[in-house]
Structure 1
Amino acid sequence: MKQGKLVQWNGAKGFGFIQSGTDERVFVHISTLKRAGYFRPKAGDVLWFEAGSDAKGRVQAVSIAPKKEGKPAVASGANKDLIDYLMYGLLPLFLLMVLSSPARWLLLAISAGCSVLVFAMYWLDKRQASQGGWRVPEANLHLVSLCGGWPGAWLAQQTLRHKTQKTTFRVGFLASALLCIVGVGYLLSQKNLLAGL
């Protein structure tokens, strides 16, 4: 990994440029940041980065990490935040609720379908972000999560390392997961409705 300085940063859009010595400026996107607590990049920060290229051959950082004491052997990995730890509790709760329902197969099918769909949406959004293309609206990601796809959304965040930095998005994601669980809980309380499914 190389050390460079973040010479330009657009916090609202989550991208900027790193320069290492006299080398050309390297494009960097927030999605390539290996989380270190609640680190938020700003112009002037010194970072470790690994250069690569996008689908069109343009130079960009494929991994960045804040400069600490000494060079990291691997860019400091995916530290979990409070929302990630909550997911470890909410996921088994959601699964238990779904499996205890008389309509378990229908609910499982809906959740699995929405999870696959939202995972694909996250993948597409990350790809478009790296190529400067049309982005998937965040509201659409939250809507599919709310409809039962939040386990797939969380899996996408962890495996694709996408949408893990923007606090407002993460809070919206948590809200969609909680509302989905509340909705399933309400459905479980409606025995007459469930009897017809």
Structure 2
Amino acid sequence: MRTDQRITTAMTELLRRQGYAATGIQQLAEASGAPVGSIYHHFKGGKRAVAHRALEESGAAYLELLVLLLGRYDDPVAGIEGVFADAAETIESTGWANLCPVGTVLGEVADVEPELRAAGDRVIASWIEAGTEHYERCGLSGPDARSFVYALVAGLEGAFILARAQRSREPLLAAGRVLAGSLAALLATARPG
């Protein structure tokens, strides 16, 4: 793996586990196996530049993962419950580490790091756009699909926080059930009979 990619991967994991403020350059160097000078060589803006790339790359990877997970289900309603159940299993198996570095960082620095907020905003916009297209293909109108995807992203991000705080799968499983029910109702309205 290239040095810049090792640095980005290490930053993604540190952001996911502990957030932006708690992550220092020395810790990043140790986690990536790259000297501090290499971090500044590859990322002229230092920690902020590495975090920026980590958000962009992890956001794209999480979108691909969600599409892959949803694609395993022929029934979009069952897909929602399945994705949330998979997330519940994964977060528990990782010792309750937050699964999304984007949500972790945005919750922490949205008001004090405008560049990172903007990067996170672009990531979320890409999630909303791709999700809207997916649920339009499932039969929802554009506005209903967009609203549902916002609820889906908010449900996942919020449930990650609650699951981590409570050391419980219940928030993810409950959010999955409720969102699956909402999707079923929206699809029934979109496709009467």
TM-score by length of 2: 0.31
TM-score by length of 1: 0.31
Where is the strand percentage greater, Structure 1 or Structure 2?
Answer: 1
Structure (1 or 2) with the larger CA radius of gyration: 1
Where is the helix percentage greater, Structure 1 or Structure 2?
Answer: 2
Structure number with the bigger relative contact order (C-alpha 8 A, sep ≥ 6) is 2
